[in-house]
């Protein structure tokens, strides 16, 4: 395997891991606050659609991103309303959001653009520009550092770097700030937070809103950064893979980064090598493409040790009288 192949695979890994990373951190923050969210997929899908639609209409991708984040946060608040205020079942609310998103994106797109539930192809400023990092061109021919820096790290859309920056930010917020401490506490023992005079409801809504912002960025990157336009169901299960990565990482930001990179790498490898020969045995393409899912099952079966969710996760908080 030569260096060109490795560079291409790692480059592809970064791109494929980005939407997973956003969604994974989104789920992590929400669940740390005790609100389970399996509606990541739906929020990403709506965001992907809004980003593509608004970018196309306005001709500016950043307005599209703002629209995507707004739409995703609105859906998050619907989830919050059902799960926090009305104490509904959080899983059912999440499933409902997924169904709603799958249907509404296609219906609105069809009525808006009349192209059978897709948006027109984006071009020019309606697409996310790719950034060339400083000195990338100068360093290109330097051995080792050149391919690593210019080939892999440079040349991605801004949101890729934002996603990776979100990992330390999330870690800092959760483990070094007062808000983070309270957020974690509200997911473990909301009654204790309540007795100390802090609003459980406000904290949980805050977490759900942050989750919405991150899902919005994930969706926007899918439709304006990775591809050029929205097609129906384009998230293709990435929201669920992100959930698996979150459990794999046991609800911690840094392990979440490694988990999504692993899933991204597997997908990139499956795209690059469709038939792998191992010890004279040819692995068919189907086996390669099933690998992320097999890994998910293995992980969820407890292979990585016990993954303990936040203790109050999934439960609505009822104040004692």
Partner 1 sequence: MTSFKTMLGAASTLALMASMAQADPALMYDLGGKFDKSFNEAAHNGAERWKAESGGNYRDIEVTAEAQRVQFARRLAEAGADPVVVLGFANAPTLEEVAPDFPDTSFVLIDMVVDLPNVRSVVFSEHEGSYLVGMLAAMASETGTISFVGGMEIPLIANFACGYAQGAKAVNPDINVIVNYTGSTPAAWNDPVRGGEIAQAQFSQGSDIVFAAAGGTGLGVLQAAADAGLKSIGVDSNQNYLHPGSVLTSMLKLVDQAVYDAFNDGAGLETGIVVMDLAAGGVGYALDEHNADLISDQMQEAVEAAKAAIIAGEVTVHDYRTDSTCPAF
Instruction: Please identify which residue in 86, 129, 192, 272 interacts with partner 1, judged by CB under 8 A.
Output: 272
Q: Is residue 267 within the footprint of partner 1 (CB under 8 A)?
A: yes
Q: Which is nearer to partner 1, 80 or 225 (CB)?
A: 225
Site for partner 1 (CB under 8 A): which residue of 85, 132, 177, 274? 274
Q: Are 266 and 291 in contact (CB under 8 A)?
A: yes
Among 8, 58, 70, 315, binds partner 1 (CB under 8 A): 8
Mask of contacts with partner 1, 190-229, x by CB under 8 A?
--------------------------------x---xxxx
Which part of the chain contacts partner 1 (CB under 8 A), choosing from 1-9, 38-46, 92-100, 167-175? 1-9
Separation between Cα atoms, residue 11 and residue 310, nearest integer Å: 34
Counting residues that bind partner 1 (by CB under 8 A) gives 33
Q: Give least dist CB 273 to partner 1, A.
A: 9
Burial group, residue 195, by CB count within 10 angstroms (0-12, 13-18, 19+): exposed
CA max distance for the chain: 70
**Inter-axis angle of helices 200-220 and 3-32, nearest 10:** 160
Q: Judged by CB, which is closer to partner 1: 92, or 290? A: 290
**Site stretch for partner 1 (CB under 8 A), options 172-180, 186-194, 201-209, 269-277:** 269-277
Geometric angle at alpha carbon 112, from 107 and 115, rounded to 5°: 80
Provide the sign of the torsion angle of the four alpha carbons 128, 289, 105, 88, taken in this order.
Answer: negative
Which residue's CB is nearer to partner 1, number 53 or number 312? 53
Burial code of 97-128, b = ≥16 C-beta within 10 A, e = fewer? bbebbbeebbeebeeebeeebbbbebeeebbb
List for the chain the helix, strand, coil content (%; round to 5): 70, 5, 25
Q: Which residues bind partner 1 (CB under 8 A)?
A: 4-5, 8-9, 12, 15-16, 114-118, 121, 222, 226-229, 231-234, 236-237, 267-268, 271-272, 274, 285-286, 289-290
């Amino acid at each position: 395997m030569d260096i060109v192949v490795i560079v291409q695979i790692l480059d592809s890994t970064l791109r494929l891991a980005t939407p997973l990373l956003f969604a994974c951190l989104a789920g992590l923050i929400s669940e740390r606050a005790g609100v389970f969210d399996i509606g990541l997929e739906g929020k990403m899908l709506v965001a992907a659609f809004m980003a593509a639609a608004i970018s196309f209409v306005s001709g500016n991708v950043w307005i599209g991103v703002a629209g995507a984040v707004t739409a995703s946060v609105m859906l998050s608040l619907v989830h919050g309303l059902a799960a926090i205020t009305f104490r509904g079942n959080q899983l059912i609310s999440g499933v409902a959001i997924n169904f709603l998103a799958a249907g509404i994106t296609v219906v609105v797109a069809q009525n808006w653009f009349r192209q059978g539930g897709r948006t027109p192809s984006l071009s020019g400023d309606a697409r996310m520009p790719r950034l060339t990092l400083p000195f990338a061109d100068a360093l290109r021919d330097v051995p080792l550092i050149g391919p690593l820096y210019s080939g892999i790290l440079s040349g991605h859309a801004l949101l890729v770097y934002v996603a990776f920056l979100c990992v330390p930010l999330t870690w800092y917020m959760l483990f070094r700030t007062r808000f983070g401490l309270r957020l974690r506490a509200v997911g473990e023992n909301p009654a204790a937070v309540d007795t100390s005079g802090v609003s459980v409801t406000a904290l949980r809504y805050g977490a759900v809103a942050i989750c919405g912002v991150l899902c919005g960025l994930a969706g926007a990157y899918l439709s304006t950064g990775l591809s050029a336009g929205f097609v129906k169901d384009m998230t293709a299960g990435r929201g669920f893979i992100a959930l698996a990565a979150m459990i794999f990482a046991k609800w911690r930001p840094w392990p979440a980064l490694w988990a999504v990179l692993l899933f991204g790498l597997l997908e990139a490898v499956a795209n690059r090598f469709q038939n792998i020969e191992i010890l004279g045995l040819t692995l068919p393409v189907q086996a390669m493409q099933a690998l992320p899912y097999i890994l998910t099952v293995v992980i969820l079966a407890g292979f990585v040790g016990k993954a303990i969710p936040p203790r109050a996760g999934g439960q609505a908080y009822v104040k004692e009288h």
